[in-house]
Structure 1
Amino acid sequence: MTGESSIPIDVLRPKTTRRVGCWNVRTLYQTGKLAQMVREMEHYKIELLRVSEARWTGSGSKQLASGHQILYSGRTDDHHSKGVAIITTKEVHRSLLEWKPVSERIITARYNSAFAKLTAVVCYAPTDDAEDEEKISFYDSQQKVVDDTPSHDVLLILGDLNVKVGKCNQGKETIMGQQGIGECNNNRESLCTFCQENDLVIGGTIFMHKDIHKTTWNSPDGHTKNQIVFAQHNQFDHIIINKRWRSSLLDVVAKQGADVGSDHSLVLAKSKLKLRKSRKKDQRPPPINIQKLKDTKTMRSFQLKVQNKFSTLMEHPDEIDMETFNNVLI
C-alpha cells in the first residue's frame, strides 16, 4: 500500500456536495488528451474522476500543471492497453490517506473524513465475450478489495464494468432500481451477485432521468445504446455505493455534452455525507426520593394514600382481579 504525505482534510462533509465523475476515455496515451480531460473536469466542476483505458504502463502519481493529481495503474509490460486512473483536484488530493495500484484493471484510494472516510475503487472489467477465467479473476480481485475496506467507510466503486443491467429489477430490488435502460447482458448476473453479497447499490438505476441522460455508450452504428453504472448502469459504466451510505448519493446522470473523443459519455454523480440520527435513550421516570419520608408530614400523607388505596380493594374482595389491582396501585 502506497501512502501520500499531506495534511489531511475532510473530503466528505454533511454540508458539502462533492461531484464525482466516471468516464471511459479510450486512451490517455495520446498527445493533448489529458489536458482536454482536465478542462472538462473544470467545466463540470468534478473533484474526483475515474478514468479507464488509460493505456499507461506501470503505476505512479503525478501532479499536473493545473494542480490536479493523477494516480494510475497499468500493465507491467510495454503493451499500452487497459489501465485505470484517478484524477482529483488539489483540495481532494490533500485528503488522500493511501492508495494502491492493484492491477491494470483496478486501483483504489482512501480519503480522509472526520465522520466516515471514503474508499474509491476504480475498475475496468473484462468485456462480455472475454474468457470466463478472466472474468472470475477480476471479480475475485474486486472481492478482496471490498473485504479489505473498513466497514464504516463510504465505498464507491467507479468503473466501466461492461455490464448492461437493464430495467427489470425483479428479485434484485435491494441492489437496483427501475431506472435502467435496455436489456441486460451475460455479465449482469456476476455484478448482481457481487452487489448482493456485499450490500451494494447500483446508483445509476435509482434516479429518474430522461433516457438520453442515462445512456453512457453509443455504438458505432449509432443505434445500440448502453447505460453506465456509477459504483455508487443498459449499462457499461457504473457508480456503485454501499447500502449503508446509500442516502449520501444524491444523483447520477450522464452528460452527453462532455467530449474527449470517446464513444462513452461522462457520468456525473453528486454526493453529500448524510449521517444517521442517533437514537435517544429511553426516558425513564426519575427515581423515588425516599429521603422525603423522613419528613413527618410527608410520611403521614403517604401512609394515608396507601391505606385509602387498599381499603378500596377490601370493600369488594370477591371482585378483585389483576387488572383492578394494578389500576388501584397506579
Structure 2
Amino acid sequence: MILYSGHEEEDAHHTEGVAFMLSHEAQNALISWEAAGPRIIYASFKTKKENIKLNIIQCYAPTNDKDEETKEDFYNKLQTLCDKLKEKDMTILMGDLNAKIGSDNSGYEEVMGRQGLGKMNENGEMLADFCAFNNMIIGGSVFPHRRIHKATWVSPDHRTENQIDHICIGRKFRRSMQDVRVQRGADAASDHHLVLARMKMKLKKREVKKSTRTQYNVDFLKDRLTTETFRLTVRNKYEALQDLLDEGNMDIDTQWQQIKEMWTSTCSEVLGKKKYQQKDWISADTLNKVQVRKEKKGAINNSRTRAAKATAQEEYTEANRAVKNSVKQTRQTSLKT
C-alpha cells in the first residue's frame, strides 16, 4: 500500500487539506472512505482475516502556534471519528501532526519509545495524550535509526530539523508494525520527507467484475452520410425481421434478442467499436527535467555544509520550477490536440 500526505500552509491565499494515494492492490481492498472536515480523511480496508478491518486515518494537525480552540477542535473531531471505529480492528493514524514528541517518554512509556527527536512541545503532549486515551503507539519513536532517518521536516534555511510527521498504530497490533523511518531520497518537491512504515498485515483482494458492455463510435453519426447509411441499414434489417415477427412463432424474450441483435450488428458494421487512445500527459523532455530534479534532490541530501546545501536547494528549486512549467505546457498542448 502506498499512502501520501500533502498540505499547503495556512494563510490568506491557501487552504489546508489531506489526501491519500492508493496502490492497485489497496484499491481492490477498499471498503469505504470519508472526509471528516478539511484536515481529516478516513478509509477502511478488508484484510485476510474476515472479522478484522484495517482503518487508516490521514490528517493534518494545526501548527504549534495556533490557538487552543483550533487545536482542541481538531482533536475533538479526530476523537469523534475514532469512537466510531471498532476496537478489534487495526487502526493507523498518520500524517503531518505538527507534533514534536522528543526522546523523553517519562509518563508516556505505553505510548512512545525513546527514539524521538528533540524535546516534546505542546502539540506533542496533545498527540501523546490522544494516543494514550485510544491505546495507540507512536511508531517513529520505537525503532532506532540515524538522525537523518528520523527528521521528517527541514526548515528552508536547512538549520532546523524536526520530527513532526508520525505514523501511529493501535497497541494491540504493535507487532504488525515492523519498522518506521524517513525516506529522504523521495523527490516530492516539499520541505517534508516521506515517512514509511513496514507492516506485516495483508489486505484481502476483492474480485472486480469487468464490464462486458461495448461502446460504439456514436460520434460518427454527426456525419450526414454516415447517419443516412445507419438509418438505411436499420430499416432494411427491421423489414426482414418484421416478417419473422408477423409469423407469431417467437416469444417475447426471443423477439427482444432479435431486435437487440439488429441494433448491435448495425452499430458494429456502420460505426465500429470505440477505441480509447491514451494521451501522453508527460513528454520525454519533461521526464528528462524530472531526472535532473531528482539529481538535485540527491545533491541536497549529500551536501556536507550549510553553504553547499543552500546552493543545492536553489538549484533544486529552479529544477522543480522547470518541471512544473514543462508539465503545464505539455498538458495544454495535449488538450488542444
Shared fold by TM > 0.5?
Answer: yes
Given candidates 14, 18, 41, the residue that maps to 1:84 is: 18
Q: Following superposition of structure 1 onto structure 2, how do residues 125-274 of structure 1 map, counting pairs within 5 Å?
A: 125-227=61-163, 236-273=164-201
**Residue type of the partner of 2:120?**
C
Which position in structure 2 is the counterpart of 1:52?
6
Which position in structure 2 is the counterpart of 1:104?
38
How big is each residue's C-alpha offset from its partner over 1:231-260, in whole Å with a ceiling of 9 and x where there is no partner? xxxxx1000000010100000010111122
Contact 1:203-1:238 within 8 A present in 2 as well: yes
Percent identical residues: 43
Give TM-score, length-normalised by structure 1.
Answer: 0.58
**Residue type of the partner of 2:4?**
R
**Residue type of the partner of 1:178?**
R
How big is each residue's C-alpha offset from its partner over 1:150-186, in whole Å with a ceiling of 9 and x where there is no partner? 1111100011000000010011110000001112212
Change (3 A) 1:223 1:54: closer
SS of residue paired to 1:94:
helix
How big is each residue's C-alpha offset from its partner over 1:166-220, in whole Å with a ceiling of 9 and x where there is no partner? 0100111100000011122121211111111110000000001111100111112
Q: How far 1:79 moved relative to its partner? A: 6.4
More helix by share: 2
Contact 1:50-1:158 within 8 A present in 2 as well: no
Aligned equivalents of 1:184, 1:225: Cα separation in 2: 14
**Residue type of the partner of 1:140?**
N
Contact 1:52-1:123 within 8 A present in 2 as well: no
Contact 2:153-2:191 within 8 A present in 1 as well: yes
Contact 1:127-1:162 within 8 A present in 2 as well: yes
Contact 2:47-2:201 within 8 A present in 1 as well: no
Give TM-score, length-normalised by structure 2.
Answer: 0.57
Aligned equivalents of 1:124, 1:199: Cα separation in 2: 20
- Structure having greater relative contact order (Cα 8 Å, sep ≥ 6): 1
Contact 2:150-2:182 within 8 A present in 1 as well: yes
Contact 1:110-1:118 within 8 A present in 2 as well: yes
Aligned equivalents of 2:28, 2:13: Cα separation in 1: 32
How big is each residue's C-alpha offset from its partner over 1:87-146, in whole Å with a ceiling of 9 and x where there is no partner? 001111011111111111000000011412100000000000111111000000010111
Aligned equivalents of 2:48, 2:180: Cα separation in 1: 25
SS of residue paired to 1:187:
helix
Structure 1 unmatched ranges of 5 or more? 1-46, 56-74, 228-235, 275-330
Aligned residue pairs total 199
Aligned equivalents of 1:79, 1:151: Cα separation in 2: 40
Aligned equivalents of 1:103, 1:48: Cα separation in 2: 22
Aligned equivalents of 1:265, 1:83: Cα separation in 2: 17
Aligned equivalents of 1:158, 1:242: Cα separation in 2: 12
Aligned equivalents of 1:248, 1:273: Cα separation in 2: 6
Which position in structure 2 is the counterpart of 1:298?
none
Q: How far 1:50 moved relative to its partner? A: 2.9
Q: How far 1:48 moved relative to its partner? A: 2.4
SS of residue paired to 2:140:
helix
Which position in structure 2 is the counterpart of 1:20?
none
**Which segments of structure 1 move beyond 4 Å, counting only runs of 4 or more?**
none
SS of residue paired to 2:129:
helix
RMSD: 1.8
Q: How far 1:54 moved relative to its partner? A: 6.4
Aligned equivalents of 1:183, 1:193: Cα separation in 2: 16
Contact 2:29-2:45 within 8 A present in 1 as well: yes
Aligned equivalents of 1:54, 1:101: Cα separation in 2: 17
SS of residue paired to 1:84:
coil
Aligned equivalents of 1:170, 1:80: Cα separation in 2: 38
